[in-house]
Amino acid sequence: MMTLRLGIVGCGNIAANHAIALAQTPGAVVVGCCDSNLARAQEFAAAHNIPHAVATTDELFALGLNAVTVCTPHPVHEEVVVAAASAGLHVLCEKPIAVDLAAADRMIAAADTAGVTFGVLFQRRFWPAAQRIRAAIDDGRIGQPILGEVTVQLFRETEYYSADAWRGSWLTDGGGVLMTQAVHQIDLLQWFLGEPVSVSGFIATQKFGAHIETEDSAVATVRFASGAIASINASTVSNLNLGNRVSVTGTSGAVASLTEFPEGNEAVNDVWTVEGETEFTQVYNAHTRANIPLSQINGQLTPFHTLQIQDFVSAIKEGREPAVTGRDARASLAIIAAVYESARTGTVIALTPSPAPLAESSISA
């Protein structure tokens, strides 16, 4: 089977996960990397044995690629994804898909028009603990999911926000803890509970106000088309870092939840009260080092980047949808954008569904 030639765009923190994952992906080779900071691209290429380092996507695409993975800051996802799709390249973009729904819709439309595979990276879906909850819902073992809960209690140093100029500004980051961190758990929540239809919420900048304008804390409620309801409680001000938790309760009364602690560590199903399968797993203990560096958090997630990147490469080869499509990724952004709007207006926000794929739109037109 043909070997896919890939490029990586954006050679910062998370790009190493992509290079390591692609090196472990059969039938794929990274031929170039690109960063607007050329020195960073060159250093990255040397560290990961990548033949070409360039400063622009035009130069990267000229290397004769089949696909790119996109690791630029969120507000720069759209321009790279649209340029790649328009050049006929398959694209796997880091989360969140974009920072506003109009941009997400333009990205999805560009991929549809070009007929390329478009995926968005939510590697936590590949945790066995997440797959187990999804399977328990599919098998009917918890009944219909009726209640969900997301808790994100992370710790970030002030330096996290000051080290990268783009972080913490509405213009260059697009949001705070919801957009950057909790988006992973919000993605899991909607994967488990289905289509979100209305959202309300509050946001606040409680601790890092001297350094950022986006939120470091948020609470929200979500109603889903099925009638299920959920709460979200997220912050980066918790010290110690208590990680993340996503919990689902079904009509059977069963609770299936996962906890990621320390942050970046593979989650476990800490509470599992499915009939006949009850398990409780203790995740917190005083001996675990909770506040770990970002590089370690990201490093622990590499095996799951690898699973999603391998799925993306297989999806291209098999002509099927990847595990997480652009449309799937739009749902978590829709919830987050609605929390921001609700916080701004003091109202409950009704969500509009994702635009239909091209084929369906043309049939109904």
Ligand X SMILES: NC(=O)c1ccc[n+]([C@@H]2O[C@H](COP(=O)([O-])OP(=O)(O)OC[C@H]3O[C@@H](n4cnc5c(N)ncnc54)[C@H](O)[C@@H]3O)[C@@H](O)[C@H]2O)c1
Q: Where along the sequence are the contacts to ligand X (CB under 6 A)?
A: 9-15, 34-37, 40, 71-74, 76, 94-95, 121, 123, 164, 180, 298, 301
Encoded tokens for 20: 């390591």
Nearer to ligand X, 13 or 169 (CB): 13
Encoded tokens for 61: 């695409």
Nearer to ligand X, 19 or 71 (CB): 71
**Are residues 76 and 37 in contact, defined by beta-carbon separation less than 8 angstroms?**
no
CB of 300 to ligand X, least distance (A): 10
Nearer to ligand X, 90 or 305 (CB): 305
CB of 239 to ligand X, least distance (A): 20
* Prior bond of 262 cis (ω within 30°): yes
The string of DSSP letters for 156-183 reads --HHHHHHSTTTT-TTTT--SHIIIIIH
Gap between the Cα atoms of 351 and 199, Å rounded: 8
CB of 184 to ligand X, least distance (A): 7
CB of 337 to ligand X, least distance (A): 16
**Are residues 96 and 332 in contact, defined by beta-carbon separation less than 8 angstroms?**
yes
CB of 21 to ligand X, least distance (A): 11
Nearer to ligand X, 172 or 314 (CB): 172
Gap between the Cα atoms of 71 and 320, Å rounded: 23
Nearer to ligand X, 166 or 237 (CB): 166
Nearer to ligand X, 8 or 248 (CB): 8
Nearer to ligand X, 95 or 245 (CB): 95
CB of 63 to ligand X, least distance (A): 14
CB of 37 to ligand X, least distance (A): 4
- Compute the half-sphere exposure of residue 239: CA atoms within 13 Å on the CB side of its CA: 5
The string of DSSP letters for 2-44 reads PPEEEEEE--STTHHHHHHHHHTSTTEEEEEEE-SSHHHHHHH
3-state secondary structure 95-126: CCCCCCHHHHHHHHHHHHHHCCCEEEECHHHH
CB of 261 to ligand X, least distance (A): 16
Alpha-carbon distances, residue 180 vs 229, 259, 321, 332, 361 (angstroms): 23, 18, 25, 11, 32
Nearer to ligand X, 18 or 327 (CB): 18
Gap between the Cα atoms of 124 and 119, Å rounded: 14
CB of 344 to ligand X, least distance (A): 22
Sheet holding 243-250, edge to edge: 279-280, 268-272, 255-260, 243-250, 145-153, 229-235, 217-224, 196-204, 349-350
Gap between the Cα atoms of 339 and 282, Å rounded: 32
Nearer to ligand X, 12 or 355 (CB): 12
DSSP one-letter code for 323:
S
Encoded tokens for 121: 């990276």
In the block, tokens 């909850």 appear at 133
CB of 271 to ligand X, least distance (A): 24
Nearest residue to ligand X, by Cβ distance, number only: 12
Nearer to ligand X, 74 or 223 (CB): 74
